[in-house]
Amino acid sequence: MKILELNHVALHVADLEKSSAFYREVLQLAPIPRPAFTFEGAWFRLVANQELHLIGERFGPVLSRRRGNHFAVKVDDLAAWEAHFRKVGVEFRPRKQRPDGAWQVFLSDPDGHVVELFTPPAATEA
């Protein structure tokens, strides 16, 4: 008996259209089909077998921060992402290096969910 993969991350959002636009345009995620649930939502492809699920009708506060609730995605070129964020006018925290050598950039979606983009330490990239 074993866990095979992390399949998806689900986030409750207040404004589905605004959040969908953020993940589609800012994080460049492709929308994917979603079953006909009885509540509003949108699904996006993260990588081959991983997805992001947005669930509408969030009414409570989001408690998300860099050292707390957040999710991270490994990227190929952090400088290109930073340039993209500047181009589309999205605020992000300045790049910082973890003690193990990985580089990180943090930004928040329209609801305040924190997203980390990172590149691994040079020794583990291969």
| Amino acid in position 51 | E
Supply the DSSP symbol for 27: S
For the chain, which ranges sit under pLDDT 70? 63-68, 123-126
Q: Is the whole model's pTM more than 0.85, yes or no? A: yes
Q: What is the pLDDT of residue 66?
A: 61
| Average pLDDT of the residues of the chain | 90
Q: What is the pLDDT of residue 33?
A: 97
Question: Angle at Cα 50 formed by Cα 35 and Cα 30, nearest 5°?
Answer: 70
Domains defined for the chain, CATH in brackets: 8-124 (3.10.180.10)
Q: What is the pLDDT of residue 57?
A: 82
Q: What is the pLDDT of residue 126?
A: 44
Provide the token pair at 89: 């006018």
pLDDT digits (tens, 9 = 90+) for 30-51: 999 999 999 999 999 998 899 9
